[in-house]
Amino acid sequence: HHHMMDLHLNVVLNDLAVAIFRQLETKIQESDSVGRNTPSLSFNVGSNRNQNKKPDGPVNSNAMSIKHIASVVNPENQLAAAVQSEEEEAKNPVKNARKAFSGLAESAGKLINTNKKHGSAPQLLTPLDDVWDPSELSPRDAEAMKKRDVGRREKLAADLSLLAGSPIDAYERYTRAAELTKEAHDPLWYTASLQGCAAAFCAMAESGGHCVDEYLNNNFQFPEDIMGLACEEKDANGGRKAAPLVVDKSKTTLPAAVFALCEEALSITNRHPKLAAFHAELLLKLAWYTAEMEASHLRCLWGQGEACYEGDVGEPKRWERTTVS
């Protein structure tokens, strides 16, 4: 009787899990359909941008690299400075980037002190937003609102992807959402997208997933001092001259990326007193990350820790297969 009850419980849990994943998939498809059904917008969202990707191949596209998210954030951010080489800076000067970012940050204050309206158009809103009726807007304002909504829906789809256990897909969507919300001067959702990118990095390291370890190894590395010690140890044990240490400018440490993204978000949430709750919440999250995760992520120990995915049974642990150096 006990065995039959266990089997019945497993069936119920499996059915519940399937129902939850189907619901998440439906919500993601609904968000993607908004962008596809907006022909006036010049950018692609959702599944449209994945049509040319190999479904089962490793994720090595430029849109998924650290360089890409570094090009989105403020040029003075540590992440942008860490991954951009002098050659790239010479070939791709950032024009008016500081002015654009300043305008984005100042827009945070304009979202406070707004009057509530009631409209019929479906929109993703926060308590700080107006509710606009598209029929009352000029064509230019209506276009801006459409772009804002597409960016927000991309961020929502990223949240759902992370809940569904796909941090790679979530990170790609968060990155795209950060681009769209920044272009639309939607600062609070821009900061939320940056926090999502940081959360996706943590989820990759802790929970794993399809092609996750390969992505982590291709984009993150040990700190420079650790790599130097590894070269010295090789020289002492092998009797050979160690190769000169070459720091890959396209890579950084995972904690450095997390802190840089969060610092970008903090630089916006500290610009108005009514955003203090968002600012304090993110600071507490960073304090928890420093205490619980930073040390293992700094040493690229993917999957090491309580409640983390260590790897399949009978295979080497995830952190034993790290090739980031």
For residues 69 and 178, what is the distance between their CA atoms, to the nearest angstrom? Answer: 8
pLDDT given at position 112: 40
Q: What is the structure's pLDDT at 249?
A: 60
Among the residue ranges 95-99, 172-176, 254-258, 275-279, the one predicted with the least confidence is: 95-99
C-alpha 260/C-alpha 289 separation (Å) is 13
**pLDDT per position as a tens digit, 67-106:** 778 778 877 777 776 655 544 544 554 444 444 445 544 5
Task: pLDDT band for 272, please (50, 70, 90 cuts).
Answer: confident
Beta carbons within 8 Å of 296's beta carbon, 6+ residues apart: 205, 304, 305
99-146 pLDDT tens trace: 444 554 454 444 444 333 434 446 787 777 777 777 788 888 888 888
Distance, in Å, from the CA atom of 169 to the CA atom of 325, rounded to the nearest integer, reads 25
Over residues 161-181, mean pLDDT: 93
DSSP string, 257-282: HHHHHHHHHHHHHTTSGGGHHHHHHH
Give tens-digit pLDDT for 186-243. Answer: 999 999 999 999 999 999 999 988 889 999 988 998 887 776 666 565 555 555 555 5
Mean pLDDT of 141-170: 90
User: What tens digit of pLDDT does each residue of 22-67 get?
Assistant: 888 888 888 777 666 654 444 444 544 444 444 444 455 666 777 7
Q: What is the pLDDT of residue 142?
A: 82
> What is the spatial distance between Cα 59 and Cα 213, in angstroms, rounded to a whole number?
10
- What is the greatest pairwise CA distance in the chain? 77
Single-letter code of the amino acid located at 84: Q
Predicted confidence at residue 69, as pLDDT, reads: 81
φ/ψ (deg, to 5) at 290: -60, -40
Determine the 3-state secondary structure of 220 from DSSP.
Answer: strand
Q: How far apart are CA 187 and CA 183, in angstroms?
A: 10
Q: Report how far residue 267's alpha carbon sits from residue 119's, in angstroms, rounded to the nearest whole number.
A: 32
CA nearest neighbour of 221 among 254, 198, 258, 260: 254
